[in-house]
Structure 1
Amino acid sequence: MAPVEPSPLPDDAKPARDLLAEILAKMGLDDVDIVFLQRSEGEYFEVRGPRLASLIGREGKTLEALNLIYNNIINAGVRNNRRYYTIDAEGYRARRADQLKTLALATLERVVREGRAIKLEPMLPSERKIVHLALADSPFVRTESEGVEPERRLVVHPKAAE
């Protein structure tokens, strides 16, 4: 899969990119490129370069934790016009989002076919959000999260016929 072409970096996103570069350098990842991508689901900083497995972590958990801390720093003390960026590494999160959208549609079909609720495997909050959004406009199913982290999971329920 070829790398996605970067979007022009807005002036107001430059301090955020610089902060990410500083954090990555402290993690020993100073030989990377950070590109800005404007996607339908939001603003992304994609990290490109060698040795990114440690940044992604097992099942994307390090990347998820970094993203949470990073956005908390970016928005510290900000009341209005908060900005949220998604940090990705070599398209890992974009590929995972595509997999989750495919899972969402397959689960929708299964729930409709079987007429019963289906529980998905535990997921990170950002992953559950992708599935919730993928099924949000469906007239056939509704979604909800249940359980407690790290075992919190999404359940897809059939909607009652109206």
Structure 2
Amino acid sequence: MNEITITAQTIEAAVQEALDALEVERNQTNVEIIEPGKKGFLGIFKGKPAVVKVTKIVDPVEEAVHFITNVSREMGISIHTNVKKTSRNCIIEISSDSAGMLIGKHGQTLNALQLLTQLVANRYSQQFLNVVLNPEGYREKRKEMVEKLALKIANQAIKTNRSVQLEPMPSHERKMIHQVLAKNSLVETHSVGKEPKRSILVQPIGKKH
């Protein structure tokens, strides 16, 4: 429960009751006074109770960490996390003896988990938050492998004077290949196909698709 509306004799009493129910401190909430309430007059006229709505301030990064930790536990995987956050990026470093299960074939399981974790985080974030899951340094290793693959495929396309199409890969990996081969004046790259089977086509300059 992240939000509650309470009616009490005073604003202070209503807020305190809400804080107790949400199990948080006041600085962890937003308080909206719906009705300030009125005291009775000389015991003749009945007073009006105060009504407040108290909303828990949810940290999107904490929610992201809770989500991936719980999902990992359901998969039978124990993990430890360390978060590196900037204004728009959140890298969740993951340590685990079973990192391979989180990664899956060619990182497919990891990419799916990362997308879900990002969706969870952005439910609570005021601005878009890019979430990266990085178990046991996999992202750095994968980046190095993708960049080497890009150079290898470019050389193949140049040597054979034929276009080469790679296997489908996620958008961030396609972007890596575009960036690496943008420096090569002998080939050009194109993204072809539709998600989730969108891939990269590497072709010699001047050669038609």
Instruction: Output the TM-score relative to the length of structure 1.
Output: 0.71
1:49 partnered with 2:96: yes
Q: CA RMSD in A?
A: 2.8
Partner of 1:59: 106
1:122 partnered with 2:147: no
Match of 1:20 among 61, 64, 86: 64
Contact residue 192 and residue 199 of structure 2 kept, 8 A: yes
Match of 1:97 among 128, 139, 143: 143
Counterpart amino acid of 1:23? F
Could you list the per-position Cα deviations for residues 57-97 of structure 1 after superposition, in whole angstroms to 9, with x for gaps in the alignment? Answer: 23211210111122233334867x53313111112222111
- SS of equivalent to 1:50: coil
State the alpha-carbon separation in 2 of the partners of residues 21 and 30 from structure 1: 14
Structure 1 pair 62–30 and aligned structure 2 pair: CA distance change class (3 A) = closer
The runs of at least 4 consecutive aligned structure 1 residues that moved more than 6 Å come to none
Match of 2:133 among 79, 87, 92: 87
TM-superposed CA distance for 1:103, in Å, is 0.6
Structure whose CA Rg is larger: 2
Instruction: Return the structure number with greater strand share.
Output: 2
Contact residue 67 and residue 120 of structure 2 kept, 8 A: no
Partner of 2:159: 113
Tell me whether 86-95 or 121-130 shows the greater mean CA deviation. Answer: 121-130
* Count of paired positions: 143
Structure 1 pair 141–37 and aligned structure 2 pair: CA distance change class (3 A) = farther
Contact residue 181 and residue 188 of structure 2 kept, 8 A: yes
State the alpha-carbon separation in 2 of the partners of residues 70 and 138 from structure 1: 36
Greater RCO between the two (CA within 8 Å, min separation 6)?
1
User: Gapped runs of 5+ residues in structure 2?
Assistant: 1-58
The sequence identity of aligned pairs, in percent, is 27
1:75 partnered with 2:75: no
Could you list the per-position Cα deviations for residues 6-49 of structure 1 after superposition, in whole angstroms to 9, with x for gaps in the alignment? Answer: xxxxxxxxx454223201232207842223458xxx76322112
User: Gapped runs of 5+ residues in structure 1?
Assistant: 1-14
State the alpha-carbon separation in 2 of the partners of residues 111 and 65 from structure 1: 31
- SS of equivalent to 1:142: strand
